[in-house]
Structure 1
């Protein structure tokens, strides 16, 4: 098994490094939502005049940081498992599904025939996926390979990104010949014209139901600050289910409640 490792900083300590408490909200965001979140927070700020900080990482890593006391007010996950973990631990509100994600196969090599059937060929030496232990889209990619009956054959070719964000870096830099990523990535304004991609049939992997949870305040925060953070976080959660926000999610390839019959 090939493994690429790196040192990354997913969150910073905001206490002790500023003279005035941050009056906005800090949103821990799964990497597949990185680009959609830029559009969502912009629209949210325009409507409610509330600033947003976004910290991007794998859902599993972000959840671990919240358990350790990271100063986040909202978790926007790539699945429902991690928000449910926080809820059961008494650290968050009950999670809600805000969208369903889609998986694609992506390459930067114009001459590469992009098809699941070509992944076993010798010409493809490295296949990038997000770490299936902490990234739901990585788990979905493994499910596809196993459903196709090629996982054991392809396993030696796999290179693992800590999140979809690092997986994308492997694909863009051509460290990997091809890789699985979120459809929201290839539809983003920044990356939509880079390389080529194909949809993966949703019947090949479990539904990627993505959840949002409001992190419950704790620690020695001032009561006024606690109440403000909680109200702002709940406002963002509510906003995510408005027609405006759901339209943004649809533009990035997500299925939303309004599209579910």
Structure 2
């Protein structure tokens, strides 16, 4: 009996000395806002590691990281920014591509049927896009407009969101009659079946290869768990449900 009590005490002391899993702070590109909620919940359910999500444009998050923001992981809307951070010593492990984003055209106005031709219509006064200087989805939008010889016709109608998140706000509030956003937004439970949207042919813009990178060596073990999780079957299923491709066509 005494031996059993002694073993129990040793177990309790050891358990109390074990460090709790440290929370992850994840910088997340705005196009991933909805998908990341489900991804982080699944990750936490599987590992017990809680996640704080910081949502903004990839460009702005990169600037914050360079200024010393205490993020553990950066989930970008492209691979350029993660590579830049790794090449300049702000990341401790080479980035990898976790998925490929897709663009849609979206309107919350019932009488508007989204199409590239519609952008030239006199009833379209504002076209919402993410800032191409900060957000890869905005850069892809400019590429589409120029490819279809529309940019010069509609450039004065363009209103720029700091990120996909703000671009969505322009569209949802109808401040812009139409706009370009990530397919993951219109497929999210929060936005599903709201407004009218169409896919943009992915051959009309360069592949939006989205990368993840580990930043903080002080929380590297947990960060690597999340980094690896994004390549798991569960993560791929979630990403595909939100309209992302998990391998390049």
Structure 2-normalised TM-score?
0.90
- Please list, as runs of the form range in 1=range in 2, the aligned pairs for 1:48-63 lying within 5 A after superposition: 48-63=47-62
1:160-199 CA-partner distances (Å, limit 9, x unpaired):
0000000000000000000000000000000012101000
Q: Which runs of 5+ in 2 are unaligned?
A: 1-19
Matched, 1:253 2:243: yes
Distance (whole Å) between structure 2 residues aligned to residue 59 and residue 202 of structure 1: 21
Cα drift, residue 22 of structure 1: 9.2
Cα drift, residue 23 of structure 1: 2.4
Aligned length: 229
- Structure holding more helix per residue: 2
- Name 2:125's counterpart in structure 1: 125
Distance (whole Å) between structure 1 residues aligned to residue 167 and residue 130 of structure 2: 6
Larger radius of gyration: 2
- Name 1:173's counterpart in structure 2: 173
1:75-128 CA-partner distances (Å, limit 9, x unpaired):
000001100110110111211000000000000011112110110111100000
Distance (whole Å) between structure 1 residues aligned to residue 109 and residue 51 of structure 2: 36
Contact 2:21–2:48 under 8 Å retained in 1: no
- Please list, as runs of the form range in 1=range in 2, the aligned pairs for 1:23-34 lying within 5 A after superposition: 23-34=22-33
- Please list, as runs of the form range in 1=range in 2, the aligned pairs for 1:47-86 lying within 5 A after superposition: 47-86=46-85
Distance (whole Å) between structure 1 residues aligned to residue 213 and residue 80 of structure 2: 11
- Name 1:162's counterpart in structure 2: 162
Distance (whole Å) between structure 2 residues aligned to residue 22 and residue 133 of structure 1: 37
Q: What is the aligned-residue RMSD (CA, Å)?
A: 1.2
- Please list, as runs of the form range in 1=range in 2, the aligned pairs for 1:136-215 lying within 5 A after superposition: 136-215=136-215
1:186-234 CA-partner distances (Å, limit 9, x unpaired):
00000012101000001111000000000043xxxxxxxx2xx110000
Contact 2:71–2:216 under 8 Å retained in 1: no
- For the residue of structure 2 that corresponds to 1:75, the secondary structure is strand
Q: Which runs of 5+ in 1 are unaligned?
A: 1-20, 218-225
Stretches of 4+ aligned residues off by more than 2 angstroms: none
- Name 2:230's counterpart in structure 1: 240
